[in-house]
Structure 1
Amino acid sequence: MFKTKDEAGRAKIYKEIDEANGRASAFAVPNEFDRFYRSIGAEGLNAFTSDEQTVYVVSVPANRLEAWAEVESERFKNPVFRLFQTEIETVYEEKNRSMDNAERILNDEVENRLYKKHPYGQQPTLGSVEHLKNPSLAKMYAFYDRWYAPNNMAIALSGDFDRAKTLELIKKNFETWTPHPLPALPKWELPKPKGHETYEVKYEAEQKVALAWPTVAHSHPDADALEVMDMIVDNSAAGILNLRLNQAQKVKASGSYPSMRNDAGSWHAWALPKKGQTPEEAESLLLEAIEALKAGDFSAEDVAAVITNFELNEKARIESNEARVGMMTASFISVEPWERTTGRLDRMRKITKADVVRVANQYLSSDRITVYRRDAKPEIPKISKPAFTHIAIDPSRESAFMKEVLAIPA
């Protein structure tokens, strides 16, 4: 399929996939994985993928961890990718929605221009239109063989469970999964903007301007100071943009956010022009506010206040299992020592006004990306979903394996 660009050829292969999936449905039990988790009282079953991670999540009752370990180890050690077409249809629909979304169109253009030679900007998570027209089951298996290995995986658990018994369960179920060497990651080029680069996108919606500057990767010593800098600019209440632009009603709305990943980082500011205002005029107001930041037009007390607020929110947030698991996952994906992850608040408490002014002047230079979203009709490609045959699902069917794991005592 992935080698075929002829539409008739694609249709023939889709028909073959459809027929094969129909035959497979006689052996597979559709939706059994979901039904298993519902049967043991689990919640929040989901998965997501992003630039540097693929994450599988579920909340499981502590007394059903044995069944969880049995099923998850089997899933990752010996996956069988049946019902391929249903996932193709889902991804097609997600891609179509993303290409018809005002914010996604703008943000994708910013990333594309900011990371001209890096997958952050050149390889969207959902894939390109051409990629999705040519799905390959063989390439999916090759990806699994390359990256799905126990030495490239972490299990993050948080909750009220017996630690020693749970570790023994994990060892028992996962230790037969054989590790293998991982491919070396490429070193991508990260050319910076040459002066002020401007671009446009079109969408029939309110106009918007987005600015972006390259900064640093999450592991850089300046990452924490840049985080505090962002909170000085926009904390939804008393930041420089909140007071000077939003409350003063100089624009309809404005804000900022940092983005720091494994290989690189960036800082973003945006504004919605008010009626009668152009995106360029809103951009000028953003730049005036940023110049005030660089000039240190805020107090040391402001810095202390945003750090204290951050600390209060962070301590409240990590009261949840989801947040604690998220911290562990981020530490693993970022290849960051756990001590550094948990030491973040201590480091932030030491950040001063001078640190904020320094990073603002160092990183927010005239070398930046600006993308204007114009209120105009765009040309949006559409991916037509293949005409796959509906597969009937019999909820009363159960595989022998499901019966076996459901019989494990709670």
Structure 2
Amino acid sequence: MKKNIILLAIFSFTSCLIAQQPAANLSKTLRRTTQAIQQAIANIFKYDSVPNDPFHTRIYTLPNGMKVYLSPYHAEPKIFTMIAIKAGSKYDPADATGLAHYLEHMLFKGTDKYGTKNYEAEKPYLDQIENLFETYRQTKDDSERKKIYHQIDSISFIASKYAIANEYDKMTTAIGAQGTNAFTSNDETVYINEIPANQIDNWLDIEAERFRNPVFRLFHTELEAVYEEKNRSLDNDEWQMYETLYRELFPNHPYGTQTTIGTIEHLKNPSLKEIKKYYDTYYVPNNMAIIMCGDFNPDTVIKKIFIRFANKPSKPVPNPNFISPPLTQRIQKTIYGPKSEMLILGWKTDGAASKDNLYLEIITNLLYNSKSGLLDVNVNGKQKVLNATASYDAMKDYNTLYLFAYPKENQSLEEVEKIIIEEIHKLKNGEFDEQLLKDIVTNKKLQLQQTLENNQARAFALLPAFTKDVPLHQIVHQINELKKITKNDIMHFAQQYLRDDNYVVVYKKTGENQLPKVTKPLITPVELDRENTSAFVKQIISNKPQPISPKFINFEKDIQFSTLLFPSVPNRTVQLLYNPNTENDLFELTYYYTLPKDDLKKHQIIFN
């Protein structure tokens, strides 16, 4: 449809120009008009890129503001896809937390074209449910609330008769997609798939329809899943430690004041109207991006995306500026749970787009890399504690460096904290081998090459360029920036940010968890229709693209053979099969042994 509109506009524009010209000038006018049209089309498909980008990323911006990140890689006929929205839990209303996460769940329920047998008959019931949830939300009397929820349950049961279950999954399965999923975090909500390279058209049709007019059906049954997720988080000691840490690090920022799943009070009083409002506010093209990494021609793919997505109008998007004042004291909190005792320490720095991100990349590896970090050698290796690790969380507004530690038997958490802080002091004092910095950069180079060989890893590497506003050159040339960081730089950064008077420590002691759970309301089980198929889904299933032609290995041409001799062992030879790696510097060697069947168990013990 959009393609036809564009062609019609170009035709009308051309006709007007020609009609206004004398016959003598007609040839010149047609030539100028053709050139103008070609230039206009070329401008639509202009893209940004970064010199020497190993991802070969193209960043397109559609006329409605939607971003498209294309990273071609032809090692296998697959494509990893993301549709990302700058709509994480940070943007949830303070009085209705959990909306972004709710919405993520509901985007799998269909539209007015799929997920339903008869939307016209279904819609009145859905409208009643939406209004009843508003009444339920505003009612305080428990007995009245039970009556209202009984109404919701009854009408939801009737509405479910019109629903067709799992039609989105039917379509992705039909096109051979794998890993279909979604996730919501502080800054973003992202919908992911891995599709065969010949299914681009079907996938784009599915996603364009998915975001055209989503219908939030089967809502109260989906609440059960969210309630269960919340209750699991309340029973998870580590989860509660993270929530406590962030609450104290960010007391005036949504990173700390609200969680992705939402508060119990808000979960018990959901609002479909607020969820729809959230969708209309944030799920707009100028706040969304498509990321595709894999086997495709970007010149062809961007035109396919344009046809499906350029017709959605843009809207102004709220852009709140959340500020979290720096901490000026050590803060200690104690929580209780059934697991063994442990603690977490955390500091905050500037966000993902800042240079702080590079420093944290180095510092976390200096502290912990499973082999030669300060915690590895000085703490774990010397068995000062049971185990200690370090990591960091890169977010748009702020980053968090955090260290986990588990005490030995009869060791206090206070003693563990002191041991960990001693290693932070070593960072500040430069008590680490400078060779470690070079080793970390070398290891990051290896990780980059491995990332480039994996479509999913490519996509996740590019994601912060959109959702966290990290400049693309900072992502693709991270190794060059890491090389510039010196030992003095690390010391100065640690002295500035990792002080003794600006961190939070959470002690998790063994005891009874007193946190209340979400009480699930009585819900009548619905019998979902899994047999029927809507017309839209039938159309997708019937669209059969050109099959992918398999590429078979030619053992005579593709694999080289050689024989290795062992001068020290007479008559000992080993056959070597090898293939040069023309893509990067990575090297892999695998040994295969032929063993007597009776000796398998013995050799397995030896190898282990």
Q: Same-fold call, TM > 0.5? A: yes
Largest Rg, 1 or 2: 2
The equivalent of 2:353 in structure 1 is 219
Task: Say whether the 8 Å CA contact 1:226–1:356 is kept in structure 2.
Answer: no
Cα pair 1:4 1:134 within 8 Å, conserved: no
**Which deviations, in whole Å up to 9, do the C-alpha atoms of 1:294-353 show, x marking residues without a partner?**
111112111101111122123213311111111222211011232222121111122111
Q: 3-state SS of the aligned residue for 2:334? A: strand
Q: TM-score, normalised by structure 2?
A: 0.65
Q: Which residue of 1 aligns with 2:169?
A: 34
Q: 1:10 to 1:168 in 2, by over 3 A?
A: farther
Cα RMSD for the two superposed structures: 1.5
Percent identical among aligned pairs is 36
The residue type equivalent to 1:341 in the other structure is I
Equivalent of 2:333, from 193, 196, 199?
199
Question: Which protein, 1 or 2, shows the higher relative CO under an 8 Å CA cutoff with sep ≥ 6?
Answer: 1
User: Which residue of the partner structure matches residue 70 of structure 1?
Assistant: 205
Contact kept, 8 Å, 2:352 with 2:470, in 1: the verdict is no
Q: 1:144 aligns with which of 268, 274, 279?
A: 279
Query: 2: distance between equivalents of 1:121 and 1:24?
Result: 38
Note if contact 1:42-1:59 (Cα within 8 Å) is conserved in structure 2.
yes
Which whole-Å deviations, capped at 9, do the CAs of 1:23-74 have from their partners, x for residues lacking one? 3333321111111111121111101100010000011112222111111111
CA distance in 2, matches of 1:129, 1:115: 20
| Match status 1:409 vs 2:544 | yes
**Which whole-Å CA distance do the structure 1 matches of 2:200 and 2:408 have between them?**
54
Instruction: Flag structure 2 segments of 5+ consecutive residues without an equivalent.
Output: 1-135, 546-608
Conserved? CA contact 2:331–2:505, under 8 Å = yes
Whichever residue aligns with residue 275 of structure 1, its letter is E
Asked if 1:187 corresponds to 2:321, the answer is yes
Q: Give the letter for the 1:287 counterpart.
A: I
Cα gap change, 1:288 to 1:61, in 2 (>3 Å): same
Moved more, 362-371 or 111-120: 362-371
Query: Who is 2:185 aligned against?
Result: 50
- Contact in 2 for aligned 1:216/1:260 (Cα 8 Å): no
Q: Is 2:495 the partner of 1:361? A: yes
Taking a change above 3 Å as real, the CA distance of residues 250 and 355 of structure 1, as seen in their structure-2 partners, is same
Q: Is the 8 A contact 1:47 1:56 kept in 2?
A: yes
- Counterpart pick for 1:6 among 119, 141, 156: 141
- Normalised by the size of structure 1, how large is the TM-score? 0.96
Which of residues 377, 399, 422 is equivalent to 1:265? 399
Counterpart among 233, 237, 244 of residue 367 in structure 2:
233
Is 1:178 the counterpart of 2:313? The answer is yes
> What amino acid sits opposite 1:143 in the alignment?
Y
**1:29–1:398: 8 Å Cα contact kept in structure 2?**
yes
- Give 1:355 shift: 1.3
- Determine the structure 2 residue equivalent to 1:383: 518
Figure out how many residues of one structure are paired with residues of the other and give that number: 409
**How far is 1:386 from its partner?**
2.2
CA contact (8 A) 1:154 1:329 kept: no
TM alignment of 1:340-355, pairs within 5 A: 340-355=474-489
Question: The residue matched to 2:138 in structure 1 has which SS?
Answer: coil
C-alpha distance in 2 between matches for 1:318 and 1:3: 52
> Displacement of 1:242 after TM fit?
0.6
Letter in 2 for 1:16: Q
Structure 1: gaps of 5 or more residues: none
User: Deviations for 1:191-246, whole angstroms, at most 9, x for unmatched residues?
Assistant: 22232111110112211121112222112223212220121111111100111110
Runs of 4+ off more than 4 Å: none
8 Å CA contact 2:350, 2:356 repeated in 1? yes
